[in-house]
Amino acid sequence: MYSDGGAGEVWVHARAVAIRPIPWLDGFRQPPHAAVMTNPLLLLRNADVYAPDALGLRHLLIGGGKLLWIGETEPQLPAALEVETLDLEGLRLIPGLIDGHVHVTGGGGEAGFASRVPAPMLTRYTTAGVTSVVGLLGTDDAARGTAELLAQVYALRESGLSAWGYCGGYHFPPTTLTGTVRGDIAFAEPLIGVGEVAISDHRSSQPTLDEVLRLASEAHVAGLMTGKAGIVHLHLGDGARGLELVRQALDTSELPPRVFQPTHVNRKKALFEEALALAMRGCHVDITAFPVEEGEDAWPADEALMRYLDSGASPQRVSISSDAGGCLPCFDGEGRVCGMDVGHSGALLETLNALLARGLPLDRALPAFTRNPATLLRLRGKGTIAVGSDADLVALDGEGRAHHVLLGGAMHVRAGVAVVRGMFEHQH
């Protein structure tokens, strides 16, 4: 329930939620989320708020994992409430970043089983200002499956991170829990779509138009049934066919363009131009924050977003993800791995700061990392700072680093130091 407190102030009434320890076997320390919140109410003072729209200096009251109030004048709260106070002293406060393309179980495997990338630990996300992730499978959807992905999504949730996932992976038929994509999305709450389905890539199943259409219809109908995103998240390789299959799907079916979300669209400059044309038709496109060498036929993520925003395409139809935990391989002429890197969620803040260094205002850059993916993926309460939204917040220091990070109102990073770690991360 919401009420107007006057003077431009808005309140939401919510009950504080107590966090109780879960009993664990003797010899194991408490789970990382057991004592995250010591006080149910937190007042953030003097925050320069980007919601992602620029709001200016504000004070915010957090409780029960939600933003309860925001205003220009500091509230007079009863002492009995025992409100903890944190003065941000003018630091920029932004919504927690949403990383919409993460190999939460680890990716890789293209150069043998030893090349399978381990699952990223909790603080790899939180210290990078990432508070929500969408997990997926890639090339290795045989040794790794939807059950393992779902288990890791639940593990991240238990640690305080907001997490969802896609069923399937690169290949046809898609790996599923229930036997169908429609069933997985309908009955597994965290699964919101299917992906990353590979096209225009020598590692793909070389899917036909009919296969892509059938997959997209399954995802779309499941989304209608459940209120979820119901999208097909498409991995784009560097093949000459580019986005041809997506254009054909739009030309020959009744499926809405939003169902198709191509990613890695900045890996080739010509592919990026195809993606811009699809965005004009209503598709949402995803830019990847991977490293690009000087002279390479690709656009770095910051350059790609600048070009997108200057293209005339809807600024709401673009997002930036990291490919965290995924192998970033290069291949020789015979399709064998000749080198590899590993994606990391820190690339999002690096890209955001590169955009600011180019002169793009923060409120214009932020939506691609926050509100846009939340809207497409129907992640309610995410991607914005507003009364009633989830208290996933990042205070940036003067260098653009994550200084304080709150997940559901719980402090995970304080003054640049992770104060909450995953179960198997070493304490320092």
Each residue of 108-135: pLDDT tens digit? 655 576 767 788 999 999 999 999 999 9
Contact by Cβ (8 Å): 420, 160 = yes
Q: How far apart are CA 355 and CA 166, in angstroms?
A: 29
Block residue for tokens 């992905």: 149
| Other beta carbons less than 10 A from residue 33's beta carbon | 23
DSSP state of 8: T
19 or 170, which is more confident:
170
What DSSP letter does each residue of 53-99 carry, written as one string? SEEEEEEEEEETTEEEEEESS-----GGG--EEEE-TT-EEEEPEEE
Tokens of 327: 């192998």
Contact 385, 51 (CB under 8 A): yes
Q: Is the pLDDT of residue 53 over 70?
A: yes
Structure-block tokens of residue 52: 């992602």
- pLDDT greater than 90 at residue 151: yes
Across residues 150-175, what is the average pLDDT? 96
Whether the per-residue pLDDT at 67 is higher than 60: the answer is yes
For residue 323, say whether it is annotated as part of any ligand binding site.
yes
The CATH number of domain 2-95+383-418, selected from 1.20.1090.10, 2.30.40.10, 2.130.10.30, 3.30.420.40: 2.30.40.10
Q: How far apart are CA 169 and CA 179, in angstroms?
A: 14
Distance CA 43, CA 76 (A): 11
Rounded average pLDDT over 178-199: 97
Alpha carbons 383 and 370: distance in angstroms, whole number? 4
Give the residue from 173, 122, 167 showing the smallest Cα distance to 147: 167
* Cβ atoms within 10 Å of 241's Cβ, excluding its own: 12
Domain ranges of the chain: 2-95+383-418, 97-377
140-154 as b/e, with b when 16 or more CB fall inside 10 Å? bbeebbbebbbebbe
User: What is d(CA 24, CA 418) in angstroms, rounded to the nearest whole number?
Assistant: 23
| Confidence label for 173 from pLDDT (cuts 50, 70 and 90) | very high
Among 73, 94, 196, residue whose Cα is nearest residue 144: 196
Among 29-43, 243-257, 357-371, 393-407, which stretch is predicted with the lowest mean pLDDT? 29-43
Nearest-CA neighbor of 414 among 404, 427, 399, 428? Answer: 404
262: tokens are 């191509």
**Catalytically active residues, by annotation:** 323
Q: DSSP assignment of 360-409, as one string?
A: --HHHHGGGGTHHHHHHHT-TT-SS--TTSB--EEEE-TTS-EEEEEETT
**What are all long-range contacts of 24-31, with beta carbons under 8 Å and residues at least 24 apart?**
31/158, 31/159, 31/423
Give pTM, 2 decimals: 0.88
Contact call for residues 42 and 65 (beta carbons, < 8 A):
no
Query: What is 97-377's CATH topology?
Result: TIM Barrel (3.20.20)
What local confidence, expressed as pLDDT, does residue 300 receive? 97
Write out the two tokens for 396: 């940036």
pLDDT classification of 327: cutoffs 50, 70, 90: low
Alpha carbon separation from 296 to 93, 269, 286, 300, 332 (Å, rounded): 35, 9, 19, 10, 15
CA distances from 327 to 21, 46, 130, 330, 359 (A): 36, 41, 19, 10, 31
pLDDT per residue over 354-403, tens digit each? Answer: 999 999 999 999 999 999 999 999 999 999 999 999 999 999 999 999 99
pLDDT of residue 413: 98
Identity at 294, one-letter amino acid code: E
pLDDT in tens, 205-238: 999 999 999 999 999 999 999 999 999 999 999 9
Please state, for a pLDDT cut of 70, what percent of the chain lies above it: 85
Q: Which two tokens stand for residue 232?
A: 């097909």
Q: Is 13 one of the annotated binding-site residues?
A: no
Give the other-Cβ count within 10 Å of 328's Cβ: 17
List C-alpha distances in Å: 323 to 112, 232, 368, 385: 20, 16, 15, 25
Contact 187, 214 (CB under 8 A): no
Question: What is the C-alpha end-to-end distance of the chain, expressed in Å?
Answer: 42
The CA distance from 341 to 326, in Å, is 8
Residues, the chain, total?
428
Asked if the model's pLDDT at residue 7 lies above 60, the reply is no
Asked whether residue 210 is marked as a ligand-binding residue, the answer is no
